């Protein structure tokens, strides 16, 4: 019993002393391209699984003067854009140049990380860290993040995100509700260039 307690104490020390890995700037480099399987459902329809490419296409300037990168999301029937900036502490994704971040992920995570986002009620936390394989892509370190957000009483969001510091978003599942319609989407990595 004594040996078991000593072993557990040593394991705890090694786990507790492990340094956090900080996300590198390379996750936001122009020319990076990811390919995802994308499934979308709203209150009126469910679309078949589509291929979505995400490419960092250039630079822009936020309304507050901060530099950001343009991420182009291309589906067979539409293209949309997000602006992404890396601060010294966070990965931030914006829908428009002047808004608050739609998604914030700290660049340094631990299995006990919890943080607040930009909306009325917006909390996220790491639920676990693990190895992960999806569609023949292997990731040694993936952070499982759960996020719940809302804007007062008329908009709610639930997300499950698998995040890798060197790579970015591995899997993204979102359920979005407003007073009437809903939107659900899932995207999973297929390829990286």
pLDDT of residue 9: 28
Specify the DSSP class assigned to residue 47.
Answer: P
pLDDT of residue 184: 87
Question: Domain residue spans in the chain?
Answer: 21-192
User: Cβ–Cβ contacts within 10 Å for residue 63, how many?
Assistant: 10
**Looking at the DSSP assignment, which residues form a beta bridge with residue 34?**
54, 192
* CATH value of 21-192 in 3.40.50, 2.60.40, 1.20.120, 2.40.360: 2.40.360
**Looking at the DSSP assignment, which residues form a beta bridge with residue 125?**
114, 146
Buried-state track 9-19, b at ≥16 Cβ within 10 A, e below 16:
eeeeeeeeeee
pLDDT of residue 47: 79
pLDDT of residue 19: 31
| Residue numbers in the chain where pLDDT is lower than 70 | 1-25, 119-120, 151-154, 179-181
Beta-carbon contacts of 15 under 8 Å, excluding residues fewer than 6 positions away, are none
In angstroms, the CA 136 to CA 138 distance is 6
Q: What is the pTM for the complete model shown?
A: 0.78
pLDDT of residue 3: 29
pLDDT of residue 153: 61
């Amino acid at each position: 019993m004594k040996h078991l307690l000593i072993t557990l104490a040593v394991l705890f020390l090694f786990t507790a002393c492990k340094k956090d890995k900080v996300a590198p700037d390379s996750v936001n480099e122009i020319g990076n391209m990811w390919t995802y399987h994308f499934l979308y459902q709203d209150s009126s329809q469910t679309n078949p699984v589509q291929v979505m490419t995400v490419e960092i296409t250039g630079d822009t300037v936020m309304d507050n003067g901060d530099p950001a990168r343009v991420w182009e999301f291309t589906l067979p029937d539409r293209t949309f854009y997000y602006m992404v900036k890396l601060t010294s502490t966070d990965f931030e994704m914006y829908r428009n140049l002047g808004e608050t971040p739609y998604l914030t992920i700290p660049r340094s995570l631990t299995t006990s990380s919890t943080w607040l986002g930009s909306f009325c009620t917006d909390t996220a936390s790491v639920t676990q860290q693990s190895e992960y394989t999806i569609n023949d892509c292997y990731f040694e370190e993936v952070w499982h993040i759960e996020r719940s957000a809302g804007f007062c009483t008329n908009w709610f969001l639930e997300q499950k995100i698998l995040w890798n510091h060197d790579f970015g978003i591995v899997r993204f599942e979102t359920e979005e509700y407003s007073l009437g319609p809903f939107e659900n989407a899932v995207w999973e990595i297929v390829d990286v260039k």
